[in-house]
Amino acid sequence: MNNPEFDSQHIWHPYTSLSQPLPVYPVKRAEGVYLELEDGRRLIDGMSSWWACIHGYNVPELNAAAQNQLQDMAHVMFGGITHQPAIELCRKLVEVTPAGLDRVFLADSGSVAVEVALKMAIQYWHSKGTPRNRFLTIRKGYHGDTFGAMSVCDPQGGMHELYQGFLPEHLFADAPQCRPQDEWQEEDIADFARQLAEHQHEIAAVILEPIVQGAGGMRFYHPHYLRRVRELCDEYQILLIADEIATGFGRTGKMFACEWAYITPDIMCIGKALTGGYIGHAVTVANHKVFDAFYSDDDRLALMHGPTFMGNPLACAVALKGIEIFERDDYMSKIRHIEQISRQEMENFSDPRIKEVRIMGGCTCVEVHDPKTLEGFQQFAYERGVFCRPFLNYMYSMVPYVISDEELIQIFDVMKDWFH
């Protein structure tokens, strides 16, 4: 049995039908922004491997960071042990995240970082003697594929709709309608404010993706909405969790999307770009108010969560080097330039089948009216030297920040050619 046959018969790929799967392309190596296939074909990666590989692939400095760390230790457990790579990474994260987020929990994936945040919030109220176990979020959100994370994803029309009735039932406010470029309308926050007031004594925390909702629909919303959420959480003394797994490290044009609204959450989840796609890792950072609720001589009040690979030294060493590169090479300027080219190429592009083109930072999304419009696009892009994988009724690019103008324009040309 050759490799393609074995793959198709024995390997479960994500988010695709088993009877009519999307095509899979055998990648031999990757470098820069290119995926090189076994047949020698090279594809520009328009996805940054699900938004993680912001530095591109096969980066000499990141390779060296991993190789140097490998000489000392690839992994040790983080229970009862600490090490320099973890300490230095956490020190840097306290420096670059919004002021006040200075307690760091190392996780091993974005979904786990969200699980940890939810557990922190529930245990916070338990420690205060007033247990709460519900969360308020907004529709069209996505927070991961594990059970706690799924429970705060939109249960209607989302990818986890099948699990309704099994997952805990939380509170979902109407999705924001005001876009960043619109004039703010206070009624946009009305349903959220109403639910927060009605359920204030049940809600452990509010959780949302700031400014850009990712896999739930690539929706961009007004920064004032987030500012009002922070104000309302303060008014009712409810914790705010910002899921920056997709938006963190510059994807929206700010280091963290919360900066658009000039707010700091009580808990923030970071992943994806943290290690530049080299090794799965994530963090949950919290403020002293959350941390202090766990400060007790009672062992039962400890945070009972400890992923096997939390604080993995290889991941920490690569993440620390990645942040150094991000700052040294002024990635925020690169992202602003990517947005400029994206607007130049795509902002005024229209077709009767297109509902809206949305651009922010390193995100470009083309929403169509009918998902069938995008059937076959992945193969179409492949034949033109681009890897771009649509989902639902969205065609989008989340490119590595090291992409050249010519490579970025080639991605957009393929998108536009699809409609011609």
Q: What gap in Å lies between CA 398 and CA 49, rounded to an integer? A: 9
Phi-psi region of 241 (alpha: psi -120 to 50; beta: other; left: phi over 0): beta
Asked if residue 269 and residue 232 are part of one domain, the reply reads: yes
Q: Which residues does the annotation mark as catalytic?
A: 15, 142, 243, 272
In a domain, 220, yes or no: yes
Q: pLDDT, tens digit, for every residue of 256-302? A: 999 999 999 999 999 999 999 999 999 999 999 999 998 888 888 88
Last residue of a domain, one of 296, 327, 358: 327
Whether the pLDDT of residue 307 is over 80: the answer is yes
1 falls in which pLDDT band (50, 70, 90)?
confident
Residue 370 sits at φ, ψ, to 5 deg, of: -125, 120
Mean pLDDT computed over 18-42 = 94
Asked if residue 313 and residue 364 are part of one domain, the reply reads: no
In a domain, 225, yes or no: yes
158 falls in which pLDDT band (50, 70, 90)?
low
Contact of 32 with 56, CB cutoff 8 Å? yes
CA-based nearest residue to 403, from 343, 337, 320, 346: 337
Q: pLDDT, tens digit, for every residue of 88-144? A: 999 999 999 999 999 999 999 999 999 999 999 999 999 999 999 999 999 999 999
Mean pLDDT computed over 357-376 = 97
Q: How far from 72 is each of 67, 182, 250, 367, CA to CA, in Å? A: 9, 53, 31, 48
Quote the pTM value.
0.97
Whether the pLDDT of residue 167 is over 90: the answer is no
Asked if residue 268 and residue 139 are part of one domain, the reply reads: yes
Last residue of a domain, one of 275, 307, 327: 327
Mean pLDDT computed over 351-376 = 97
Domain that includes residue 407, residue range: 3-58+330-418
Lowest mean pLDDT among 72-76, 120-124, 155-159, 208-212: 155-159
Last residue of a domain, one of 298, 327, 356: 327
What CATH number did the domain enclosing 255 receive?
3.40.640.10
Asked if residue 164 and residue 99 are part of one domain, the reply reads: yes
More confident residue, 156 or 85: 85
The per-residue pLDDT for 180 is 97
Q: What gap in Å lies between CA 206 and CA 238, rounded to an integer? A: 7
Asked if residue 161 and residue 90 are part of one domain, the reply reads: yes
Asked if residue 227 and residue 345 are part of one domain, the reply reads: no
CA-based nearest residue to 268, from 405, 134, 10, 96: 96
Question: For the residues of 344-393, what is the DSSP string, one character each?
Answer: HHHTT---TTEEEEEEETTEEEEEES-GGGGTTHHHHHHTTTEE---BTT
More confident residue, 157 or 244: 244
The per-residue pLDDT for 299 is 81
Average pLDDT, the chain: 96
Asked if residue 252 and residue 349 are part of one domain, the reply reads: no
Asked if residue 267 and residue 392 are part of one domain, the reply reads: no
| Domain count across the chain | 2
216 falls in which pLDDT band (50, 70, 90)?
confident
In a domain, 371, yes or no: yes
In a domain, 65, yes or no: no
Whether the pLDDT of residue 29 is over 90: the answer is yes
What CATH number did the domain enclosing 21 receive?
3.90.1150.10
